[in-house]
Amino acid sequence: MFMIKILAIGNSFSQDATALLQRASDDLYVRNLYIGGCSLERHCENIRKDKREYVYEEDGAAVQTDLVSIRQALSSDKWDYVTLQQSSGLSGIEESFYPHLSELVAYVKKFASAEIVLHRTWAYEIDSAHEDFVKYDRNQTEMWNAIKKTYDSVAARENMRIIDSGGVIQDLRSYRVFDYKHGGLSLTRDGFHLSFNYGRFVAAAVWCKFFTGEYPEIKSDSRAFQTIKEYFKAKAR
């Protein structure tokens, strides 16, 4: 069976996005390189010294006890795609991407023939206590607009495609069941990481659609999952 092989070079937000991804499609083989809160700048510091500082993850959990370097992970398989992202608090600040993104892209190309894509992350919850929320005046809409503008600009500059987890999360927040401000469910579990049920499922579905062309099947008849299903149905038209 043909497998689509994906390596995410990221942090806890790529962990959230990939934790349920292999369950979404039998065609996907996914690994995540995890350091909590890791920025593009730190990734570059790590590649310069070939540091073995990453947890090598499958389905959001370590595959092995030994930490690995980016070079080791890139060389360990023939990847079809490599995903990159900025740390969440810097995701709406375009200046923070450079020169680090360019350096990281060049490094990935040395060891892999994969397509490199950007993973656009999400804005924090409206009452998030994350220390970086102050960069956006503790305003979710302001943070999301900055993230969208930044990733659009970077993607155009680098000629990269975007996996838009953040856009879908923000769209769903406008539906009553996920309208946290008015008593709905939050798509985060702590104000910034995705909730284990709906949030992580949504991100996995977005990635699944990007890489396979299809959203995963939703069998639950809960109001929240049915809302997600209707949203995906509308997006697919």
**Domain architecture of the chain: domains with CATH:** 4-166 (3.40.50.1110)
Q: Is 131 exposed, middle or buried (0-12, 13-18, 19+ CB in 10 A)?
A: exposed
The β-bridge relationship of strands 4-9 and 81-84 is parallel
With a cut of 70, say whether residue 1 has pLDDT above it.
no
Average confidence (pLDDT) over 169-190: 98
- Residue 25 and residue 208 in contact, taking contact as beta carbons nearer than 8 Å: yes
pLDDT tier for residue 77 given thresholds of 50, 70 and 90: very high
Token representation of residue 22: 């292999």
pLDDT tier for residue 209 given thresholds of 50, 70 and 90: very high
The β-bridge partners of 7 are 31, 82
Rounded-to-integer distance, Cα 237 and Cα 37, Å: 36
Tokens 């500082």 correspond to 53
**What was the pLDDT predicted at 157?**
97
E strand residue ranges, the chain:
4-9, 28-34, 55-58, 61-62, 81-84, 115-119, 162-163
**What was the pLDDT predicted at 2?**
79
Long-range contacts of 136-139 (CB under 8 A, 24+ apart): 136/92
- Residue 23 and residue 204 in contact, taking contact as beta carbons nearer than 8 Å: yes
Rounded-to-integer distance, Cα 188 and Cα 130, Å: 12
Global confidence as pTM: 0.97
With a cut of 70, say whether residue 219 has pLDDT above it.
yes
Rounded-to-integer distance, Cα 46 and Cα 221, Å: 45
Average confidence (pLDDT) over 95-118: 98
**What was the pLDDT predicted at 237?**
76
